[in-house]
Amino acid sequence: MEVQKEESKQTIEPQFLSQALASGITLRIGQMNKSEHEGVVRDIGRYELNLEENGKLITILKQEIAYLTAPHPLLATTEPQPVSVQSGLAHTDSAPVNRPNIQQEFLDKAIREGQLLTLYLLSGQRFKAVIEAYDNFTLLLKEGGKQHLYYKHAVTTINR
Residue ranges in contact with other proteins by CB under 8 A: 14, 31-33, 35, 37, 43-50, 54-61, 64
| Largest distance between two CA atoms of the chain | 52
Q: Which is nearer to other proteins, 55 or 80 (CB)?
A: 55
Cα separation of 147 and 156, whole Å? 20
Could you tell me the smallest distance in angstroms from the CB atom of residue 158 to other proteins?
23
Cα separation of 77 and 9, whole Å? 12
Q: Which is nearer to other proteins, 40 or 58 (CB)?
A: 58
Could you tell me the smallest distance in angstroms from the CB atom of residue 101 to other proteins?
26
Q: In what order do the strands lie in the sheet with 26-31?
A: 26-31, 65-70, 146-151, 138-143, 126-134, 116-121, 155-159
Could you tell me the smallest distance in angstroms from the CB atom of residue 69 to other proteins?
17
Could you tell me the smallest distance in angstroms from the CB atom of residue 33 to other proteins?
5
Q: Which is nearer to other proteins, 65 or 141 (CB)?
A: 65
Looking only at the bridges linking them, the beta strands covering 26-31 and 116-121 are unpaired
- Do 70 and 146 form a contact (C-beta atoms < 8 A)? yes
Q: Residue 61: which of 158, 154, 155, 160 has the closest Cα?
A: 154
Could you tell me the smallest distance in angstroms from the CB atom of residue 142 to other proteins?
25
